[in-house]
């Protein structure tokens, strides 16, 4: 794979008013990370772009002059994946999130100059959306194309190697950033900005923050070195983030390749996830069944539209498949069947939540309360990030009385079980409560003040409680406000104008 000539040096400033506005609009819709929806500060900053752009430009100057930013505004908490294994999530200071996303847009706009069209038929993860520059990624390319490409390759190359990198984002180190900036024709300032970000988020300790768009762009650039190696060998190949599939005509060729792949991936400083590492032969009968299924699907009506997360395309086929398996007629029955289990299938529940984003109001009003009911149950912790996003998306279409009832019930559940809940769970439940209801009974004020002090060591929980109180002044007392005013990090939540001072 041959790269094009390096682009000319980035003589113009990265940060411009139009770049900042595009970025803020993007963050308002999609958020800077899957686990932390846009902070309340972002909504304020949207109305003060004339003051925001100069503030972001100052961060650019700090990066160029190697002036370090403080780590104090960065919050980290343990969230949970499908098997309840903890994963460390990072919340960035809002100004750093905006600056890094401005640079992400700049990188995405130059993806074609970085590796041309060579990877168009091989990479199906976070692909740049050059035809619609207001969005970072192409929403028409994703998981379904990754699956389809595998089916096409298996027709002529039936031996498949499946590789998944273990904890990819968390294992990114400084030398990976350095390799990207030397192996790809990036501008000198690109290297400066990526290194500045990595140092600011303490990447040497935590790796790249999981979920943010800037991490996704940097991740794609890092993985391009594996792309280049595999394609230089002439192997048939496709990739979705760190999920890699390589196809061969014979078992001997595949086994020979395995040894070389292990050496290359290990040499880059990554580990292969042994639980997902497989060599298998895709049988002709399986390929024919998939092809038949694909043909029938192409003539069927797609109930759900594709949306931002490229993995969410699984919703299109998976919901219908699960209906047939369980003999359920609708999402309500699917969710009910799942909640009847002692241990629910988290992957299925996440698919149902994604589907609810495109469901009618009547279905949302039945299904959403079912999910909220289990917010404090340990088996349901992994669905909370998606439940937060769903709350923000659907609250405006639900009955006002139902929304207020759900918020009150969540407060009571939180009060009863908070001492056995992790900080990340408490923070997410506070966000759901704050998003659900425009008003809360003032009697809950004392509880949230008490909760604020109980979680004095969690920036995330405290910020979410302040977000909740700021939007519902009736439950915030003067003493609390005085306390917040002594902490500049918390004050930015209460009074976002301090970010621009």
Distance CA 198, CA 192 (A): 10
Distance CA 145, CA 123 (A): 9
229 with 267: CB under 8 angstroms? no
Q: In what order do the strands lie in the sheet with 243-248?
A: 236-240, 243-248, 159-164, 278-281
> What is the per-residue pLDDT for 269?
94
What are the structure tokens assigned to 450, written together?
A: 């008490």
442-495 pLDDT per residue, tens: 788 889 988 998 998 888 888 888 888 887 766 766 677 777 777 777 777 778
> What is the per-residue pLDDT for 143?
80
Angle at 461 between CA 460 and CA 466, to 5 degrees: 100
> What is the per-residue pLDDT for 317?
60
- In this structure, is the dihedral angle defined by the CA atoms of residues 23, 25, 30 and 33, taken in order, positive or negative? positive
**Contact residues for 158 (Cβ-Cβ < 8 A; gap 6+):** 247, 249, 281, 282, 283, 284, 287
142 with 311: CB under 8 angstroms? yes
**Residue 367's CB: how many other CB atoms inside 10 A?**
24
- The whole-model pTM stands at 0.84
**Residue 379's CB: how many other CB atoms inside 10 A?**
16
Residues of the chain falling short of pLDDT 70: 1-11, 32-39, 72, 82, 112-118, 129-134, 284-318, 320, 324, 473-474, 476-478
**Contact residues for 50 (Cβ-Cβ < 8 A; gap 6+):** 17
174-226 pLDDT per residue, tens: 999 999 888 788 888 999 999 999 999 999 999 999 878 899 999 999 998 99
> What is the per-residue pLDDT for 33?
61
> What is the per-residue pLDDT for 118?
64
Distance CA 75, CA 77 (A): 7
> What is the per-residue pLDDT for 307?
36
CA distances from 297 to 292, 293, 318 (A): 9, 6, 12
Q: Could you identify the residue written with the tokens 């960035």? A: 92
62-91 pLDDT per residue, tens: 999 987 777 767 878 888 876 777 888 888
> What is the per-residue pLDDT for 190?
94
Distance CA 370, CA 352 (A): 12
> What is the per-residue pLDDT for 294?
46
**Contact residues for 265 (Cβ-Cβ < 8 A; gap 6+):** 163, 165, 226, 271, 272
Which helix H or strand E contains 327, and what residues bound it?
Answer: none
DSSP string of 14-74, one letter each residue: S--HHHHHHHHHHHHHH-SSSSSPPPHHHHHHHTTHHHHHHHHHHHHHHHHTTPPPPSTT-
Which helix H or strand E contains 344, and what residues bound it?
Answer: none
**Residue 331's CB: how many other CB atoms inside 10 A?**
22
Burial label, 12 (beta-carbon count in 10 A; 0-12, 13-18, 19+): exposed
Which of these, 235, 294, 242, lies nearest to 271 by C-alpha position?
Answer: 242
383 with 348: CB under 8 angstroms? no
What are the structure tokens assigned to 26, written together?
A: 């993007």
367 with 332: CB under 8 angstroms? yes
Which of these, 173, 347, 171, lies nearest to 272 by C-alpha position?
Answer: 171
> What is the per-residue pLDDT for 130?
62
Phi, psi for 208 (deg, rounded to 5): -75, 140
């Amino acid at each position: 794979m041959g790269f094009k000539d390096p682009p000319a040096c980035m003589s113009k400033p990265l940060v411009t008013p139009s770049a900042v506005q595009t970025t803020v609009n993007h963050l308002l819709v999609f958020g800077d990370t899957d686990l932390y929806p846009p902070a309340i500060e972002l909504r304020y900053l949207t109305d003060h772009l004339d003051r925001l752009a100069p503030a972001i430009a100052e961060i650019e100057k700090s990066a160029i002059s190697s002036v370090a930013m403080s780590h104090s505004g960065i919050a980290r908490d343990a969230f949970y994946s499908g098997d309840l294994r903890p994963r460390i999530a990072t919340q960035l200071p809002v100004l750093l999130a905006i600056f890094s996303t401005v640079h992400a847009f700049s990188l995405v706009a130059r993806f074609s100059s970085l590796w041309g069209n060579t990877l168009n038929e091989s990479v199906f993860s976070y692909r740049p959306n050059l035809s619609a520059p207001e969005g970072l990624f192409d929403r028409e390319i994703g998981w379904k194309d990754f699956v389809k490409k595998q089916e096409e390759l298996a027709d002529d190359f039936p031996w498949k190697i499946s590789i998944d990198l273990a904890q990819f984002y968390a294992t990114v180190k400084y030398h990976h950033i350095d390799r990207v900036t030397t192996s790809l024709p990036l501008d000198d300032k690109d290297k400066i900005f990526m290194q500045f970000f990595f140092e600011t988020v303490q990447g040497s300790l935590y790796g790249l923050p999981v979920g943010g768009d800037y991490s996704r762009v940097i991740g794609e650039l890092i993985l391009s070195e594996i792309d280049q190696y595999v394609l230089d060998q002439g192997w048939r190949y496709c990739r979705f983030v760190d999920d890699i599939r390589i196809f061969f005509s014979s078992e001997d060729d595949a086994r020979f390749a395995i040894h070389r792949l292990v050496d290359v991936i290990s040499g880059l400083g990554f580990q292969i996830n042994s639980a997902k590492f497989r060599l298998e032969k895709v049988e002709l009968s399986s390929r024919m069944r998939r092809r038949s299924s694909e043909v029938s699907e192409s003539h069927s009506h797609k109930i759900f539209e594709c949306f931002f997360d490229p993995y969410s395309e699984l919703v299109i086929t998976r919901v219908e498949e699960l209906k047939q398996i369980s003999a359920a007629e609708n999402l309500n029955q699917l969710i009910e069947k799942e909640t009847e289990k002692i241990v629910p299938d988290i992957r299925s529940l996440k698919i149902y939540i994604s589907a609810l984003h495109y469901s009618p109001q009547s279905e949302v009003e039945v299904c959403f309360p079912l999910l909220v009911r289990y917010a404090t149950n340990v088996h349901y912790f992994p669905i909370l990030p998606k439940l937060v996003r769903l709350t923000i998306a659907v609250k405006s279409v639900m009955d006002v009385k139902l929304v207020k009832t759900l918020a009150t019930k969540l407060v009571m559940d939180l009060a009863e079980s908070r001492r056995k809940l992790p900080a990340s769970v408490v923070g997410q439940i506070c966000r759901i409560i704050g998003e659900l209801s425009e008003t809360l009974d003032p009697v809950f004020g004392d509880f949230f003040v008490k909760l604020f002090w109980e979680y004095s060591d969690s920036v995330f929980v405290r910020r979410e409680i302040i977000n909740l109180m700021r939007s519902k002044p009736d439950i915030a007392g003067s003493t609390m406000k005085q306390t917040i005013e002594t902490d500049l990090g918390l004050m930015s939540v209460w009074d976002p104008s301090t970010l621009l001072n």
